[in-house]
Structure formats: C-alpha cells, structure tokens
Structure 1
C-alpha cells in the first residue's frame, strides 16, 4: 500500500510537467534554419544584445533572448514518439500557458498532416454535383445566375482534351437551359484527387518565420502581423487584380457554400489581406460579407506567409491565434486556408473554412478545396476583365 501511495504521489508531482510538455507539442515551433534572428535587444527584458552578450534563440518565437529570460522545457510529440527539449523565452511561456487545451488530444500533437480517406467515403465530385443541382433547382434571379456561373467555372477546370473541353464550353453557356446544366451535373464534377504525398501544408512541422509577441498575453493582446518576403509584390498583384473593387461577389458566396458543405464547417470566407487589414469578399454567411479586421487579428495574416495551404486544428491553443478577434468572435476551433492566385501565381487572396469544433482534413477534402480555390481565382479574374 505504501509503495502504491508513493507512486501516486510521484505521478501527481509530475502531472504539471506532463501537461506543460503536451501544451508545447500543440505549438508550431520556429525553424531556425529558415530565417535568422535580427533583434538587437532581448524580446522579454529589452536588454541590449551586443556581440559579446550571452544569448540564445527561443524555439517558439525564433528571436534572440538574453541569458536570464529563457529556460529549457520538454515537448511531447506523437509523430516522433519522443520527448524533445526546447528552449523557451519567458514571454512565449506566458502565451503557451494562456491557451485553451481542453479539446487537444495527445494523438494530435506534432506534425499536422492530411489524412487518407476512409474506404467507404463518398466521392467529392458526386457531393458537389448534388449540392449544385439542389441550389440550381431552388434558386432564382441573381442567385441562380451565380450558380450557373460557378458550374461553368468548375467545369472549365476539368482535365479533358481540348476538343472535349470546347464541346462542353459550347454546351454550357449563359443561354443554356437549366436542364442542360442539370444533365451535365448528373455525371458529377471532375475533382482530380491529389495524391496523399502531394497534400502539402504550410508549417506542417515547423514555422519558417518569426513571431513577435506583445509584452503580455492579458487583455487580448496579439502578436504583430508577420510580413512575407514578397509583401511588396503581393500588394502590387492585389492592386492589379482589382479584387478590392468587387461589389457583386455572389459567385464567391456560392463557392463558400460548397466549401462549408464539403468540410462540414459552419463558416467559409474568401478574404484579401492588404497592408493593414483583412477584408471578407465572399462568405456563406451574409453578415460576414465585406467585414474587415485589423491584419494582426486575422487568421489569413499567416496564410499569406506561404503559397501552401494552412491548416490549424486547434487555434484556441496556438499562441499565434488564441487571442485574435477573428477567432474569439466566433469561438473558432478549426481553420484551414487555401491560396487564391493570379495569372502569375502570386497569392492575392485566401479561401478559408472555420468551425467551432476541430476537424481532420482528408485527402478528398484537400482536393475539393484546391479545386474550389482555383475556381475562386477564375471568378476574380473574370470580374477584373469585366471592370476593364
């Protein structure tokens, strides 16, 4: 009995340590090899860090800190099945402790990846086609025109030979009857399946840019908005695309409805991140359309940091997102964002889904989101042509 009580006591003593290392495992650590730390003062105490000062880089924010403002902790990950030591600055420690980990399971720690579809999973093309048929039958006026346009965009992406593509393009036009659209959809939409090894995600294991934390996690404080290396080119591409001039974005709203259905999410949005803010151009939720947020309070400030899709299964625990208004306003606990690119493959927008519960993303969902994001790009380019 005494030995058993001693084991229980030892386990109770170690419990906070186990909890803390799992909380670190829910974070995306900085890849020190991808960028260099350039801060000349400690990010925690602001002590000057001259050449001879003893300093180290925090594994989470990626910045230099002085010898007094860091400590070594343990991080648990399930993909490597091991406990890893990490160096953590005191400011990042506060943000880690501030997160909500109530829904984070041990098997979700570590590498973020797309999952293989279950054997009995229904094909995405059939589900998309059925939803479009339902929308076409039930809608009228401007909404019906938007549904017809979206069907044309989705069909135009299909990987058929040129002769078949031209035949279908002639078959479906603005003058085509609704029944012709319904007949085409009877065969389902072509949703090319992205091989699992090509379902690449941004920051799946590490983050290739630093994050700059505020002085405290209290009062809803958030990190500074990071800037991608191609920020100047990205903003120029947004200006050229005239995407911010879109007034009628009903096709984007329709694409968001399709995306929310495919991922079983409550919210889907199309956004643009400009120098200081994020603007919602389209959504399946009417009250979100044309909503703006300060850039540092948006999810998409991080989506634009890379051309790869961003998947965040637990933003409520992630130090980057836990306090941002884009998360707290709707209690968002799942986010994914796919890039919308222009003709030169420069990212001009994001196609996103969010929900109040966490999700895994499957191979077919990744493939469907990629197709829908590409269709959103076609919508933007067609609107640009119409404005000229």
Structure 2
C-alpha cells in the first residue's frame, strides 16, 4: 500500500534530497519517493510499504532515471526483506519493472546478493534484511560520489574540447538530481559549468511525449539559477543550423559492450545533427550503466510504452477545463495507433566521448569500454583513453 504526502517546501532545497529516501516510522520501514509525474506544479511524496507499489511507481515513471532506478531497486529488496516478504519474488518483479534501464537490475542484484550472503553466513531474517539495507545505502552513497566525479570529468572535457568557454549546451530528457543519489549525470556537468560561470545557455528539449525536459529539467535548472531556454524537440535542428549549440550532453539508460547508447527517444536524431554540424555529442553515465553482457545496440531491448501517451495529453496535476487530474485529453482520432518507444540507440561512432565516474572514453570503442570497466571494477581509479 502507499499514501501520498504533499508538503510546502523551501524552493531552494536540493531535489537530490527529495527524490528518494528510506524511513523507519513506528509502523514499519517505508521507501518514500518524490512523485515525478506531479512535478513541477506539486511536490507530492509516495510512501511505499511494499514492493508491488514500488513496481507500479517505477512503471508509471513516478520514480525514474537510470541511476535512481538502481537505488530504488536495491531499497525495494531491502523493503521486502524488512517486512518479511519473499525476497526472491520481490527481486524478480523489481528487476523486470522496466526492461531497458540496466541499473535497475544491477541495484536489485546487489541488495539481493547481500541478503543471501548474510543468510548463508548464519544471520537471522532481521540480520539478512539489515545487510540488504546496508547494501542499498552503500549504492546510494556510491552514486552520489559518482555524480561528483562525473561532473568534474565532464567539466574538464568541455574545457579541453571548447577552450573558449561560455558554453551553450543542449540536453535531452532529465539527467539531474531527480535521476540520481547525488547531482545527476549530464545535468550535473551543466551545473558544474554553471557554478564556474561558463554556462551561457542551457537549451532544454521538451522531450516528447512525456515532457521530462519541460517538466523536470526546467524545474531543476530554474532551482539552480541556470540560464535556460525550453524548446520543442523538432526545433533543435534550427539551433544547430544557427550555430547556437556548442555541445550536446545526454545521459544513458544502457550502454552496450560496443559503446552503443540507449537513451530517451530523440537522442539519436540529436547525435546525427551534432555530427553533421561538427558539435561534440557527449554521453554522461556511471559505469553501472555499461552492460558488457549486451553485445551491441541491436541487442538492447527497447521498452515500448502505451500508445495513449502519444494520442492523449495527460493531465497529472493541474486539471484543464472539464478534466480530472491523472486523466488524458485525446489529441488524435479515436482508434489511432501510436508508435511509442521509450528509447532509441545511438551508435558509438556518433558519440564524441563517454564520461563516467572512472574517467572519459574517447573515441568510444568496445576495447575502451572494456578497459574502463575493468579498471573501475578493480578499484584502480581514474582513466582517460
């Protein structure tokens, strides 16, 4: 079960503190998430007391973003363990809640492995649950630290690629604190550029059909005081043609072993535009988003979402005339079929650089990806190829 809490908040508060947290009230542990479908008009929290509610929150995009999904998945396993539910069943349902974002399964597996290792070592149910929670908290901390390092690496890369400074950056979808345990991925780099006074303009794609850029990236950019401008997705080409974009920064939901990048649909056209106009196209993602078990872009499972997200305009928080919150207003004829992939895939040859917490890979190749992951997972620190 879940309840909702809507509170007045200090608008200067960091969304990183709002996106997700673990609480232990007297009635039992809960996972509290910020319902991102209600932003920017309302900051409403969902209180998840069991895994089915969390799975639905993931599927409905109340909680979203590759790194944060991993964290949510890990806490979900801990929640099942702490409340005495079947941990393996919970892990299975969580891991398959959304198919493309590899971090979700990664977080679930880490927490489940910690739970089973503790149980095998003789821990009772409470001790095993505590081990799962400790692993979820460790992943949360690691992601926050990774955000800081990605921001630093991304800033250094932009300084190298564009030494004149004063960057005009184009971003797609939402990649800030709302997708992370820390400052985010691509938007964390933009925020670092802003903090050193080098951000001339942040161009924000609205990101159809669910408008994560318009609703969420604009929300975060405004809080941070960035100079930003919102544009329709199909206006990006005119910006490139006018010479108004210095670099493109996006995140990733899965990176295949060959360097192919699955990200929010609309990313691939930006990569093509960037290549034609000789503009750097930079992907910012933690190494946990790299899936060496997926050979190439064609092997990435692409989530297909409901057609009504395209044929209807959803009203999640502010009812239009005669509509109720959470309903859709049809914009296409009744019975219209819709093509609605959540992601597209950008081939590695169109990616200028991959920025991770462990360093930068450029050019993006299978060998470079493999070496990066080997160094990262052996704990040998930073690298740049």
Give the TM-score normalised by structure 1: 0.23
Question: Max radius of gyration: which structure?
Answer: 1
Normalised to the residue count of structure 2, the TM-score between the two structures is 0.24
